Amino acid sequence: MSRGKEIRSREFAGRYGHGDLVEEKDKYLFARETPHYRFNVIGTGTMGLEHIRVTMLEGRATIHGVYDPASLSIENAKKTFANWSADELTIYDSIEAACSDPSVDGIIICTPNFTHVDVVRKVAAAGKHILLEKPVATTIEDAYEIAGIADKYAAIFQVGLQYRYKAIFTEAIHEALERKTLGDIKTISMVEQRIPFLDKVGQWNKYSQFSGGTLVEKCCHYFDLINHFAQSKPVQVYASGSAAVNFIEFEHEHGKSDILDNAMVVIVYENGIRANFQLSMFSPMIYEEVVLCGDEGHLKAWENQDFLPGSALKSQIEIHAGESRPSRITSPSYPVIIEESGHSGATFFEHAKFVDNIGTGVADGPTPMDAFWSVVVGVAAEESVARGEIIEISKLLDEKNLSHLL
């Protein structure tokens, strides 16, 4: 029986009470697969809980233990884990203890952005498989150090750029880069309109010194996708942005918030492709869109969460190919239980890829260098907003002694 049928059967059984009608020894459709791997989660805030949930739903691995210095985060992790398992969750008193446990195969890092490089140094010393949440770091230098660690790493080192696994973007990548439905891509446009940043422990995401700034923290996903569609390195970035609505009166122990809540970013690539990204973080809904224009076609993909009742369409892809091939409109999606597990199901398939990669021993998916370049674009965009001028990527990397990358 395939993993997909197992998940759907368990969901049906749990929803309607069928799972309690037979003993464990008699379960087949309702049975859980015996996990092959054990993971520890470091950092059990919002994303850490999502990774616990998705690991347990995917089923080929289980969560063995967690580490987080915040007691409330630990209690939340226990509650989340208890929804999936009657086993006892191991609570570690340090990152080193969580990494050195010989019964654990992999470590999922979900700590605040500014801590990533220090945590990676500690985790990598243990040699276990690593899944590191985005952005990999808040600075270009730290992102490059992490990419260097990953390049020499014997185990799987995967980065959490899970938007590549969202249904609309998976299909857009397939059409544009694999099927070449659009011919040669010439322009790329992406949009995110969403609600403000949520509360975090210590409110670290309201300060650029801890988050890297909005265009690094939130937008690295989109810059990774744009870089991927362009299949080229960025050469120029120009951005304009401000704090227009959100957190203007917000103050915490670190003072007033200094993050952007809107921006427009233009990127020019070595191969001549031009891209733009538009962000608004004071929308009453969540809307994402990509528009790709090639010399043989046009693709528009969008996803919407409007918080309204009813069964309105939540995603769509339009492909207009003129006379060269068929045009069509589709609505890509995953099963509800997977989409509701986090990030429209993208985190689930990110985990499925992580487990696949551990099984094969071959890393497949966005690489730590892909994550590095997404940080480069984000940092360049933040600096462009601050300076009010075009940022030349060659000069930016030269300032960091990284000009050899171009």
- DSSP E strand boundaries for 78-233: 90-91, 106-109, 129-133, 157-160, 185-193
Q: How many CB atoms lie within 10 A of CB 198?
A: 8
How is residue 101 annotated by DSSP?
A: -
Strand partners, 189: 276, 291
Q: What is the pLDDT of residues 245-296, one digit of tens each?
A: 999 999 999 999 999 999 999 999 999 999 999 999 999 999 999 999 999 9
The closest alpha carbon to 188, from 230, 222, 224, 221, belongs to: 230
Q: How confident is the model at residue 11 (pLDDT cuts 50, 70, 90)?
A: low
Beta-bridge mates of residue 76: none
Cα–Cα distances in angstroms (integers) from residue 82 to residues 178, 196, 320, 349, in the given order: 41, 30, 48, 22
> What share of the chain has pLDDT > 70, as a percent?
95
- pLDDT band, very low/low/confident/very high, at 5 (cuts 50, 70, 90): low
The pLDDT-based confidence of 372 (bands split at 50, 70, 90) is very high
- Give the pLDDT confidence of 329-356 residue by residue, as tens digits: 999 999 999 999 999 999 999 999 999 9
Write down the pLDDT at residue 99: 96
62: pLDDT strictly greater than 60: yes
Residue 18 pLDDT: 64
For each of the domains in the chain, give its residue range(s) and CATH number, in order of start. Answer: 3-161 (3.40.50.720), 164-338+364-405 (3.30.360.10)
Following DSSP, what letter does each residue of 21-63 receive, concatenated? SS-GGG-STTPPPPPSEEEEEE--SHHHHHHHHHHHHH-SEEE
> Alpha carbon of 328 to those of 165, 172, 196: distances in Å?
21, 13, 34
The pTM of this model reads: 0.94
Give the separation between CA 138 and CA 111, rounded to whole angstroms: 12
DSSP state of 114: G
